[in-house]
Amino acid sequence: MKKKYNKDIVNLVKERLKQGKREYGGEIDIHDGRDWNQEALEEILDCCVYVAAKVLEIKEKTDSKINNSGDEVEYKY
């Protein structure tokens, strides 16, 4: 049977909200004057950096294994 992940995703969001409440002393205030579009764009760009860093980390590990074995692999992103 295929695992269903919706509850896991909801739980991750709930945990993130709890963390924000602990770190910032309360729930999110949608009227605090922030430009939510700008905030979202900045977070998405940060995410892109984190994902790219992880891809490079995996690629380095894979490349070192490939170099040691002498096999060649073509990367498709």
pLDDT tens series, the chain, 77 aa: 899 999 999 999 999 999 999 999 999 999 999 999 999 999 999 999 999 999 999 999 988 776 555 566 555 55
Within a domain: 52: yes
The whole-number pLDDT of residue 73 equals: 57
Q: How many domains does the chain have?
A: 1
Within a domain: 58: yes
Contact 20, 28 (CB under 8 A): yes
The whole-number pLDDT of residue 63 equals: 83
This prediction's pTM: 0.65
The whole-number pLDDT of residue 37 equals: 98
Within a domain: 35: no
Within a domain: 26: no
Domain housing 53: 43-69
Within a domain: 23: no
Within a domain: 55: yes
Measure the CA dihedral 18/21/23/29, to 10°.
Answer: 140
